[in-house]
Amino acid sequence: MDTYHHMGFATLPKYFSDAEKLIHEDSLNQHGILPWHIFHMQKSLTKAMQAKDAQAILHLASDLGHYIADANVPLHTTHNYDGQFTNQKGIHALWETRVPELYAKKYDYLIGKAEYIQDVQAHAWKTVQLSHNAVDSVLSFESALSKDIKTDEKYAFEERNHTTIRVYSRAFALQYSNALQGQVERKMRSSIKMVADLWYTSWIEAGQPDFSTLIEKKNIKESAEKEAILDGQSNCEHQHKPSTKTLPTMK
């Protein structure tokens, strides 16, 4: 969002067709189209649900969830996405990986019922705006904590897949998590809620189709494919199993 900061969120084009009229295509592709793409993916999911295309539904629902999660990460909305411009290289992994891997088991993931979103495009922009507003705290808290801790206390070494790697120490990660006052957990909860809401919205817009038949067809198809594979293996084994009558005997 740094690139379009001079325009302000209020004046940024809500819809991609309007954005193309004001912002050059090269700039859009270079700096990202996430809020607009979330809207596009949600409408594509609606069409897949209308068509009851199971494969497309699974694919689009998964991709939409990924983009929504990205939109809830503050560092995904700035050029300084890994602290490379403020001598904070690695902060992306600290916020997105290290803190969750240490404390995610204690997070509360119960977010209530999914709700219908009237204006998906506006909702996507609001999510990105809230994430961008948090960039300052993500960077400033890490910077402040780093000034009061020695390098050998800030980092530690752990074994991962038979390899020793350098990671942020548990003590530093805890201090950072506490300074953020649950921000990572809130963003994870926001992601879960938004995914549920947009999946539900697509289902409503698609006319609330009954997917039970898709599950039945999928099970029948998988069962038939499994039987075919097993039959093929059985036939293959039967065809290639050597006959003991033709084997020479050892003397």
What per-residue confidence (pLDDT) applies to 59? Answer: 95
pLDDT given at position 232: 59
Q: Determine the pLDDT at residue 33.
A: 72
Q: Which residues of the chain have pLDDT under 70?
A: 1-13, 15-32, 216-251
Predicted confidence at residue 233, as pLDDT, reads 54
pLDDT in tens, 137-173: 999 999 999 999 999 999 999 998 899 999 999 999 9
Q: What's the pLDDT score for residue 34?
A: 83
Residues 6+ away with beta carbon under 8 Å from 208:
none
**Main-chain phi, psi angles of 160, to 5 degrees:** -135, 115
Instruction: Provide the 3-class DSSP secondary structure of residue 251.
Output: coil
Q: How far apart are CA 109 and CA 16, in angstroms?
A: 32
What's the confidence (pLDDT) of residue 236? 52
pLDDT at position 22: 61
Domain ranges of the chain: 2-209, 210-244
pLDDT score of 215: 74
Between the two ends of the chain, the Cα-to-Cα distance in Å is 83
Q: In a 3-state reduction of DSSP, which class is residue 149?
A: coil
69: Cβ contacts below 8 Å, ≥ 6 apart: 191, 195
Contact 172, 153 (CB under 8 A): yes
How many CB atoms lie under 10 A from the CB of residue 232? 10
pLDDT of residue 229: 58
> How many residues does the structure list for the chain?
251
Structurally, what CATH architecture does the domain formed by 2-209 represent? Answer: Orthogonal Bundle (1.10)
